[in-house]
Every structure is written in structure tokens, then in C-alpha cells.
Chain A
Amino acid sequence: MALTSGRPGGALWLLRHELRLGWRGMGGKRVWLLVAGVTVLWAFLHFAAWLLLGFVAKKGLQQVPPVAIIGAGAVFWLFASIMVSQTVAHAVTALFDRGDLDLLLSSPLSPRLILAMRGLGIALAACFLPALLLLPFAHVGVVVGLPGFLGIYPVIFSLGLFAAAAGMALTMTLVRLFGARRAKTIAQISAAIIGAFFFLAMQAQNILPKAKREFILNWLSSETRPQGLLSSDSAMWWPVRAMVGDVLPLLVVLMVGAGGFWFVVNLAHRRFVTGTQEATGGGSTRKAAASGPARFRSGLVKILLMKEWKLLARDPQIISQTLLQVLYLIPLMFIGFRGDRNAWMIIPGFVVISAMLAGNLAWLTLAAEDAPELIGTAPVSLMRIRWIKALAAVLPVVAMLTPLVLWWLGHDPAAAVILLICCIGGMFSAAVCHIWNPRTGNRRDMKQRYRESKLTSILESTGSFGWAGMAYCLNGNWIWIPVPLFFIVLGPGSAWVFGRRARREGGLA
């Protein structure tokens, strides 16, 4: 034990602590199933790498066309940006959400060591995905006579360090600029945006007007020619050259990664300490600005809706996570507004995404109620409160869809009506699963919610896919209507049956 875990208080010991927490954050014991799946995938990837590299080895590395280097380089930067967005989110958690920092910083360990090991933990976690996908090439490279491919190992590690350093530096800069509280909001939202950026970029086809698209294509093809900004000799693609064993690029990549990490840790450990103290000290940075007399509203529906919306709007984590889903709606919206014949085809997509969004919000308003005891002791029927909460989840999504519905009403009224009916149907069917099969959750664990209540999420999607199918059938495919109808009834119906006991036990909202 002592050998594997290192001296208590030492670097290895701390790192082990970080990795254990990270591992449990990923799901801990239940991850073994995932591990089995990943192993199979890994074996398959080795095979694929063997096919590809066998071909390269026969031809010789020099014969690889420059386009391949540019392509691989683009993929590399895609990975890098995804990793940075991951590490920003991760650093926010490590800085603000995990409760152990007070303990660590009050211990006699040096804050610099704590920060370095926490950063290393973040870096290793970020390495997971690229390691999974790229290491097979390193292994196969050795076998087929391309030992240079072992460069993938240091490049991935260096990339992880770099992403961790960038993530931490970004997070801490935000703390410095905006204070710990708002930094958290901004970091989470920007992580969501970075993550969604590539999705949107891939959807550029649908979003951009034709002239713009052609301009970008022309620019790309001219710059990727030799001597262009993005030509295969460009330093932009050095990481790729480093991965196949080019010495100079490899050294530079290592220096940038490890150096960047060392630099951030050394420069910032002081700020790290002040940042966390501000975040966990509980001292409200809000001045008591709104300090007028009490101005209350009355009416249960109004008050309950306002309360739910305030809680949703004030939680940065919820905003960043739902924002991601809203971003996926944008390309669909653009297709919708272009108003061609394909419009009918996107209605089911709208139904599914809006139902998912409403389902998530319904989980927040219904299952993740912060004060169930208060609701439970109030002299109002619990069912009435639950329905109002469901309404609080559905209305914001309806508001988002309204512009499109109105626009379509002028162009294709039938489509507009079907969109509205099926979206609202899908949203309520998702929300109803939470009303009829009540479970309690914590809004901090939004990411875990699918794992915790698998049943509810399955029922939710059953109903919403039913409504999506209904949207398809209503477009003249009448004969198939019984099929989606079956799923529409099956989802909420099962929630009703499965939730009997929880409803009878009652009490908590």
C-alpha cells in the first residue's frame, strides 16, 4: 500500500487522492462495465491502426500526402479545444465545487504542491479520450517498424498538461476579473460554448448563406497550398509531426506543455488560494443594493412560477448545461427559417430536443426541489404544485419556439400547428413522468441524473419519441399513427404505474 500510494503528504499521495476523486466523479464502481466496453473498442482500434499503419509502413512515411498532415492537425486542434473546455469545467469544479479544498489548504502541505497535483489530476483526466483513440497507433507503430509513433505518448501527456494549464489559467483569470462567484458562471458558460462551437461549425453548411460558404472554402483551399498559412509545413501542424517522432517539433511540444504547466502553477498558486477563499468563505460579494421595502406578489401560480424561474436563472451550472441543448436547436432553427420543403423533416427533431430540454427543466423544478419539506407542509395539494412546476419547465421552451411557430404560421400553417401540438405534447409527456413518478434529486447532480433515475429518463424519451413519430405521421403518413400513439401512451402510462408507490407514500414534493 505504502509503495503504491506514496508517503502521506507527498506528491504521489496527493495525486492518488486526486485521481480517486476524479474516478469516483466518473461513476466509480459502475464504470467497470464501461471499462469492458472500452477494452473491446480498444482492441478494435488497434486492429484499425494496424490496417492503416501497415499501409503507411509499406509506402514509407515520406509518401504520406500533405493533406493527411493537415487533416490530422485539424483533428489535433479539435481535440485540444475540447480538452481545454473540459479542463475549464473541471477546474471550476476543483476550485469551487469540491468541498475538500478548505481541508487541504488548512493542512501543512504547500499550496503550490496542492495546486500542482490538482492540475496533474485534471491533466490526466483530460488525456483519457485522446489516449484511448491515439495510443493504438503508437503500439502498432512499433510493431510495423515505425517506432517514431511512440512520440504519441509524450505528445498526449504534454497536451494534457497544456490543456490543464490553459483551463486553470482561464478559470483563475476569470476569478481575478469578475470575482469567484461570477467567474464560475462565465467559466461554465464558456465551457459549454467551446464544446458546442465545433458542433455549430459542422453545421455551418446550414447556417451560413451560400456566398459566405464559398468564400470560406476558397480561403481554406488557398491557404493550405504550399507556402500558405496552413500549408503542411506550417508550425500549426507540428504536434502531428511530433507524434510521428520528428525531434524538433517533439521538443517544442514538450516544452510548451510542461513549461506552460510549470509556469501556471508557479505564477498562480497564490491567486488559487485567494480565489478559493473567496468562493468558499461564503462572504456575499453582493452589496445590499436592492434594499427597499418588501414588495410582494400574491397568487400561488404566479409566485410558484416566479420562484422556479428565479432558481433556474440564477444557477450557472443549469444555464451552461441547458445552453448546450439550446445551441443544438439553433441549426434546426436556421433550417426552419430558410423555409424550404425540408421544413417538415425537422419537426421531429424539434420535438425531441424541446422535450429533452423540458424534461431536464422538469427534473430541476420537480425532483430537485430544494425545500421539499416546506412544500410538503404547505396547505396546497401536492399534485397542484407539481403541475404548476411542470408548467414552469415547459413555458420557457415554448417561448423559445414561439418565433418559429409564428413565422411558419404565415408560410405553412399546417406545419406550424403540428410543430406546436407535438412539441407541447412531447414536453408535457416528459414532465408528466416526473409528476407521476416522483423521485427526489439534488440540483447539483444534474449530470448524474440519467444514471440515477434511468427509468424516468427512458420513459421520458419513450414518450417524446412517440410525439416525434406523431409529427412525422401527421405529415400525411396517417396509416402509421397507431405506432407513435402506442409510445405516447406507453411512456407516461408506465410512469403512472411505476410511480404508484412513490405517490402514495406522498409527502415530499
Chain B
Amino acid sequence: MPDTDIAALKIHQLVKSFNGKVAVDSLDLDIPAGQFHALLGPNGAGKTTTLRIVAGLLKADSGSAAIFGHDVATDATSAKKVTAFLPDDPLLYGKLNALEYLEFVAGLWNISADTAEKRAEDLLKWLELWDNRAEYVEGFSRGMRQKLALAGALIHEPKLLILDEPLTGLDAHAARSVKDMLVDYVKRGNTVLLTTHILEIAERLAERISIIQKGRIVAQGTLDELRARAGEVAGGVAKGSDSATLEDVFLNLTEVR
């Protein structure tokens, strides 16, 4: 059965609370393979918690999440094999150099040395880190770290790439090349799920946007569909008109509730 028939990510009735405080509240989310999906929401809406459960870093209280049919709780290894997760502030090893870091990540995903060497070289050259490959990561700027973490996420060619607030700390040039890369990555049949505060990113890149608030998906659709929703909610023409940006839509949908 080709992968396209199975959802890249299927979240069903996911619940997680911390010390009695509900962070994710019966959340449902389906992302078909090959989609660029953005998860949008105010601070503390449960975006990061959801992603961490999907990535296998947290255990859900109830509900399920499956990556290409592999349940993240019961079949974690298979699920992790095809997934890469990039946290918002990627923690790297200060005392490893860029190549050593990629070697380590490739080893964790059991990529053969020959394949990994080739990919590492391509990735570092493309991210303009090749000249810094022998330097310890502790001397890297935030943007360089972000790019190296991205290279680490891509070295095992995941089918699902999960990014928590990517592009923070990148300069305009680097952000542009990362955006191009993500779009290209989806074109090749892979799936990307990202969270972001920066509405412009979601607006430009994502085919489908989910707006999350208080641990639930409150709206989902293409930008146009969301515009229409926002128009209904606001009851006015101006807010729902074609010219409304995602920011208007976002503020409308999250404030009213």
C-alpha cells in the first residue's frame, strides 16, 4: 500500500494535562501525506505539547497519534524512523563539530556511513555551513545552530518533518533558503508540519492551516476557507473579505472564543 493512502499524521482525541491543567483537550487532526500544514495559535495553546507527544517525547494521557499508520505510543520505533522533530530551541552538543554532530544523528537513525557522508556534505554546503564544519558548535551563532539542527533533521530523509517555530533567529537570507527548501521538500512527496507565531510564514507556505486554542483545533482549512470562517464569525464583510490577511483571520477566530 503506497504511503499516500495513509495519513502522514492522524491524531485522535488526544488529551494531555500537567498537574490538572489541561494542555491538549481532545484534539483531532488529520494530515494527509504530501501536505504542508501549519499549526497556528497563541502562546500556551498547546502547540508544542501536541508536537512533543507526536515526536514521542511526551506520553499522552489518552487518545492516540499515528504517523503513517504507526502508533507513536505502541509502535514508537517505526513511527520515529520516518519522522524528524526540530524543537524551537534545538539543543546541540557544544563540544562536537558540525560533521561529528551529523555523524551522530545519522548513527541514531542507522543510516549507513557512505550515504550519510554524502548527504552531510550536500546539506552543509547548501546551508552554507561547509566552511565551519570543523568548528565546535559552541562557537556557532543562533542562526548557524538552527541550520545545523535542520541539517540533522534532514540527514535521515524523514517522510514527516515536524518543526516547532522554525526560522526564529535566522537572517532574512537563511530564512528564505529554509522556506524554499521546505516547499521543495513537500513537492518531493514529503509532509511538513510546523507551528509558528509568524503568520506570514503560514500564509505563504502552508496549504492547510489549523488554528489551535486552549488545546483544541478551533478552525481548519485553506487560507480562503479560514477567511470565510472569520467573516461569518465577525459577521462583517470587511473582516471576511478577500483582502483580509491571516492576521485578521487569526485574531478574529482566537479572540471571539
Contacts and interface: CB of A to CB of B under 8 A. Distances in A.
B95 A315 contact: yes
Contacts of B112: 298
Given A371-B91, A378-B108, A293 B117 contact: yes
Interface of B: 52, 55-59, 76-81, 83-85, 87, 90-96, 99-100, 102-114, 116-118, 120-121, 131-136, 138-141, 152
B107 A376 contact: no
Interface secondary structure of A, over-half rule: loop
Given A310-B95, A315-B95, A296 B113 contact: yes
Contacts of A310: 95-96, 100
B134 A372 contact: no
Contacts of A290: 134
Contact of B84 (A284, A296, A377): A377
Given A289-B134, A307-B100, 11 more contacts: A284-B135, A294-B133, A297-B113, A298-B111, A299-B107, A315-B95, A370-B93, A374-B108, A376-B55, A377-B85, A379-B81
B152 A374 contact: yes
Contact of A296 (B85, B94, B103): B103
Nearest to A507: B57
A314 interface: yes
B138 to A, nearest CB: 8
Contact of B103 (A288, A293, A297, A374): A297
11 contacts: A282-B138, A286-B135, A288-B132, A291-B133, A294-B116, A304-B104, A310-B95, A311-B96, A379-B108, A507-B58, A507-B59
Contacts of B83: 377
Contacts of A314: 95, 136
Given A315-B95, A374-B105, A507-B59, A288 B113 contact: no
B91 A298 contact: no
A373 interface: yes
A47 to B, nearest CB: 51
A375 B108 contact: yes
Contact of B99 (A294, A298, A302): A294
Contacts of B116: 294, 296, 298
Contact of B55 (A296, A302, A377): A377
Contacts of A378: 80, 108-109
Interface string A21-48: 0000000000000000000000000000
A340 interface: no
A481 to B, nearest CB: 42
Contacts, number: 132
Contacts of B118: 294
A372 B136 CA distance: 19
A294 B121 contact: yes
A381 B114 CA distance: 24
Contacts of A296: 99, 102-103, 106, 113-114, 116-117, 120
A51 interface: no
Contacts of B84: 377
A438 to B, nearest CB: 14
Contacts of B94: 370
A300 B130 CA distance: 25
Interface of A: 282-284, 286, 288-291, 293-300, 302-304, 307, 310-311, 314-315, 370-381, 504-508
A283 B106 CA distance: 28
Nearest to B118: A294
A315 B92 CA distance: 15
A291 B134 contact: yes
Contact of B91 (A284, A295, A315, A372): A372
Given A310-B95, A314-B95, A315-B95, A303 B103 contact: yes
Contacts of B106: 296, 298
Contacts of A282: 138-141
Contacts of A283: 139
B92 to A, nearest CB: 6
B7 to A, nearest CB: 19
A379 B80 contact: yes
Nearest to B141: A282
B47 to A, nearest CB: 16
Nearest to B80: A379
Contacts of B87: 373
B170 to A, nearest CB: 17
- In the A-B complex, the 9 residue pairs with the smallest Cβ-Cβ separation, listed nearest first, are A303-B107, A284-B139, A378-B108, A379-B80, A314-B95, A379-B81, A296-B113, A298-B113, A294-B117
Contacts of A504: 59
Contacts of A303: 103-104, 107-108
A293 B108 contact: no
B106 to A, nearest CB: 6
Nearest to A301: B107
Contacts of A379: 76-81, 108-110
Nearest to A371: B91
A378 B117 CA distance: 19
B110 A300 contact: yes
A507 B56 contact: yes
A507 B91 CA distance: 15
Nearest to B82: A379
A286 B136 CA distance: 8
Nearest to B96: A310
Nearest to A294: B117
